[in-house]
């Protein structure tokens, strides 16, 4: 794809914040090719937005994005009069060389043209245009005397990777639906296209499942609070109804973001064991306890007996009805499977299934889920522990314990998403711990995020295509409020957005930071509580 861009004859001004008249260009993630010209296009209340058919759907999103600061909605029209200054949006098959997410943006004093082969490309063109405009366009309230200049430029752009993700964790601290929607808005500005939602964990079950009502009746109400054991901290309780989920999924889809649901198994499963103790090891003892007591006593590991497999498949059935995502995440990490080794019932089951050990039982269990999801046309994705004991070919691996899992999986022909703690764990500190809000540990400064390349050299050249992309993790043990979540996410997520989107050759940290200084002004205008630069 890069070749077609070069063939286009565009001068690569990668990363230069050109100082030609009409304002600087400081777009994040850095577009593939930027050709700057003199002059500017001026957006005023009489500017037209022109689009037809499917392009008009995206054009409305541009109008909606500009509306709060403009104080009115620039309704798109289907044509412009000669001489009228217009922002034109158009679908054009000839740009399919740029892929489903690529676009071209041309700005002259008379016209802004956003052209793409697919609606997603138009949407990303809009995001770039929002960043070419002054930061004031992002204001949530009306700006007087709208006269905003867009510098004349010709941008040709497309992403390096198809999976540019973030993870949020309402299982540890529940995240209100409206906060998720707002988080999606900010992601869209950075051209992210995947949001993994960690919906279940020991600390809570956060999605309504009609067949198993106790999951939310009991499993969403556990009194867990890492920081505020005295109960004075923010509430952790709550769950999404199926209507909430449908709304989140639709809101994300409108922003070309796919929500990837994660239902954790067989470990990190304390919440469902509290709700249905028959899922646990030694179920009779668990069932005899009060829920809160059960919660303190469960190891968080289910016993993968046949009924447990059916339980999770039932859950996944409702999950698949709600989430169109091709990839469904089943967790699979950190299982303390030695508890199976020592349990007579599980020993008998391993014998029955002719499995060598608990690792064998873990892969057997994951294989049941894989077969089930595959038979419904979906693909299982799991943390790299699912590699232990062998994997079915269609399974996607998320590499978190460093890159080794991703390297091994890609070389074995699996799709992988790179999510190593070393570069993508945004729950880690981003400066000296003494001057940062309490975090889980680690140290991941902005420069280290930016230095990441999701394609390790150890992946064979003919397997590189298996690297779907990269994802940043906002695990929620210590993140209880939206302000804190944004503080942990930004600007590190801006660096990750660039890793996921921009050409490898264009990477330049100093240059990124210089664009970022302008970008932070946009986040400030949006009211995002980012962490200031050092």
Site for ligand TNX contains 333 (CB under 6 A): yes
C-alpha dist (Å) from residue 22 to 148, 153, 156, 337: 10, 10, 19, 62
Query: Which residue in 163, 340, 365, 425 binds ligand TNX (CB under 6 A)?
Result: 425
C-alpha dist (Å) from residue 179 to 170, 184, 216, 275, 527: 11, 9, 20, 27, 13
End-to-end Cα, the chain, rounded Å: 37
Kindly state the smallest distance separating residue 331's Cβ from ligand TNX, in Å: 7
**Active-site annotation holds for 223:** no
Site for ligand TNX contains 226 (CB under 6 A): no
Binding mask 49-78 for ligand TNX (x = CB under 6 A): ------------------------------
Site for ligand TNX contains 383 (CB under 6 A): yes
Q: Output 223 or 333, the one with its CB closest to ligand TNX.
A: 333
Site for ligand TNX contains 427 (CB under 6 A): yes
Query: Which residue in 311, 400, 487, 501 binds ligand TNX (CB under 6 A)?
Result: 400
Kindly state the smallest distance separating residue 391's Cβ from ligand TNX, in Å: 16
Site for ligand TNX contains 297 (CB under 6 A): no
Nearest to 17, CA basis, from 8, 30, 6, 7:
30
- Return the DSSP state at 502: S
Kindly state the smallest distance separating residue 74's Cβ from ligand TNX, in Å: 43
Site for ligand TNX contains 388 (CB under 6 A): no
Which of 334, 343, 436, 477 is flagged as catalytic? 334
Binding residues among 473-512 for ligand TNX as defined by CB under 6 A: 475, 477
Query: Which residue in 254, 297, 334, 521 binds ligand TNX (CB under 6 A)?
Result: 334
3-state secondary structure 336-356: CCHHHHCCHHHHHHHHHCCCC
Number of residues that bind ligand TNX (CB under 6 A): 9
CA 408 – CA 405 distance, rounded (Å): 5
Q: Output 370 or 427, the one with its CB closest to ligand TNX.
A: 427
Q: Output 440 or 513, the one with its CB closest to ligand TNX.
A: 440
Kindly state the smallest distance separating residue 73's Cβ from ligand TNX, in Å: 41
State whether residue 145 is helix, strand or coil: coil
Which of 268, 362, 414, 466 is flagged as catalytic? 268
**Continuous H helices in 210-343:** 214-217, 242-254, 270-275, 283-287, 291-297, 306-322, 338-341
Q: Output 272 or 427, the one with its CB closest to ligand TNX.
A: 427
The vertex-308 CA angle with 302 and 313, nearest 5°, equals 120
Kindly state the smallest distance separating residue 172's Cβ from ligand TNX, in Å: 7
Site for ligand TNX contains 299 (CB under 6 A): no
Q: Output 101 or 169, the one with its CB closest to ligand TNX.
A: 169
Q: Output 213 or 437, the one with its CB closest to ligand TNX.
A: 437
Q: Output 361 or 439, the one with its CB closest to ligand TNX.
A: 439
> How large is the angle between the packed helices 344-352 and 358-375, nearest 10 degrees?
60
Q: Output 66 or 167, the one with its CB closest to ligand TNX.
A: 167
Kindly state the smallest distance separating residue 386's Cβ from ligand TNX, in Å: 10
C-alpha dist (Å) from residue 100 to 88, 140, 262, 301: 19, 30, 26, 41
Q: Could you give phi then psi for residue 508, rounded to 5 degrees?
A: -160, 110
CA 301 – CA 284 distance, rounded (Å): 15
Kindly state the smallest distance separating residue 202's Cβ from ligand TNX, in Å: 9
Query: Which residue in 13, 367, 440, 513 binds ligand TNX (CB under 6 A)?
Result: 440
CB 267, CB 301: distance < 8 Å: yes
- CA 245 to chain centroid: 16
CB 107, CB 153: distance < 8 Å: yes
Which of 58, 201, 370, 384 is flagged as catalytic? 201
In the chain, the largest separation of any two C-alpha atoms, in whole Å, equals 82
**Active-site annotation holds for 201:** yes
C-alpha dist (Å) from residue 412 to 332, 361, 404, 406, 459: 19, 22, 12, 10, 10
Kindly state the smallest distance separating residue 438's Cβ from ligand TNX, in Å: 13
Site residues for ligand TNX per CB under 6 A: 333-334, 383, 400, 425, 427, 440, 475, 477
Q: Which residues are catalytic?
A: 201, 268, 334
């Amino acid at each position: 794809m890069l070749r077609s861009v070069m063939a286009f004859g565009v001068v690569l001004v990668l990363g230069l914040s050109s100082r030609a008249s009409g304002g600087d260009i400081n777009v994040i993630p850095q577009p593939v090719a930027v050709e700057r010209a003199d002059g500017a296009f001026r957006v005023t209340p009489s500017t037209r937005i022109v689009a037809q058919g499917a392009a008009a759907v995206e054009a409305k999103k541009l109008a909606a994005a500009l509306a709060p600061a403009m104080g009115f909605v620039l309704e798109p029209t289907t044509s412009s009069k000669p001489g009228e200054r217009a922002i034109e949006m158009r679908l054009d098959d000839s740009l399919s060389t740029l892929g489903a997410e690529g676009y071209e943006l041309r700005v002259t004093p008379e016209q802004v043209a956003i052209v793409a082969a697919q609606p997603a490309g138009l949407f990303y063109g809009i995001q770039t245009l929002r960043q070419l405009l002054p930061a004031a366009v992002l204001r949530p309230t009306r700006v007087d005397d709208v006269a905003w200049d867009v510098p004349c430029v010709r941008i040709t752009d497309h992403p390096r990777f198809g999976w540019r993700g973030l993870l949020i964790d309402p299982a540890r601290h529940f995240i209100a639906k409206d906060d998720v929607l707002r988080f999606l808005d900010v992601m869209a500005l950075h051209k992210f296209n995947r949001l993994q939602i960690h919906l279940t964990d020991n600390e809570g079950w956060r999605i309504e499942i009609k067949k198993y009502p106790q999951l939310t009746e009991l499993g969403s109400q556990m009194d867990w609070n890492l920081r505020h054991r005295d109960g004075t901290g923010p509430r952790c309780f709550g769950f999404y109804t199926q209507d909430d989920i449908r709304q989140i999924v639709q809101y994300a889809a409108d922003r070309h973001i796919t929500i990837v649901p994660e239902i954790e198994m067989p470990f990190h499963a304390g919440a469902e064991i509290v709700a249905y103790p028959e899922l646990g090891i030694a179920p009779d003892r668990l069932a005899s306890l009060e829920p809160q007591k059960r919660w303190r006593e469960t190891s968080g590991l289910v016993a993968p007996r046949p009924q447990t497999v059916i339980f999770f498949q039932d859950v996944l059935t409702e999950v698949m009805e709600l989430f169109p995502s091709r990839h469904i995440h089943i967790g699979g990490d950190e299982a303390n499977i030695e508890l199976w080794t020592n349990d007579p019932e599980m020993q008998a089951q391993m014998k029955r299934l002719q499995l060598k050990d608990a690792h064998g039982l873990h892969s057997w269990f994951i294989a049941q889920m894989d077969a089930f999801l595959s038979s419904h046309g979906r693909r299982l994705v799991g943390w790299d522990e699912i590699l232990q004991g062998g994997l079915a070919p269609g399974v996607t691996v998320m590499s978190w314990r460093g890159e080794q899992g991703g390297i091994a999986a890609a070389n074995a022909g699996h799709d992988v998403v790179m999510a190593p703690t070393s570069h993508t764990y945004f729950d880690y500190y981003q400066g000296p711990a003494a001057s940062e809000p309490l975090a889980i540990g680690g140290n991941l400064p902005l420069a280290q995020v930016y230095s990441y390349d999701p394609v390790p050299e150890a992946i064979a050249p003919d397997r590189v295509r298996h690297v779907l992309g990269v994802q940043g993790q906002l695990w929620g043990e210590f993140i209880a409020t939206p302000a804190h979540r944004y503080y942990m996410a930004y600007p590190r997520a801006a660096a990750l957005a660039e890793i996921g989107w921009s050409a490898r050759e264009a990477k330049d940290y100093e240059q990124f930071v210089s664009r970022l200084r302008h970008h932070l002004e946009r986040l400030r205008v949006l009211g995002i509580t980012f962490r200031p630069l050092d």
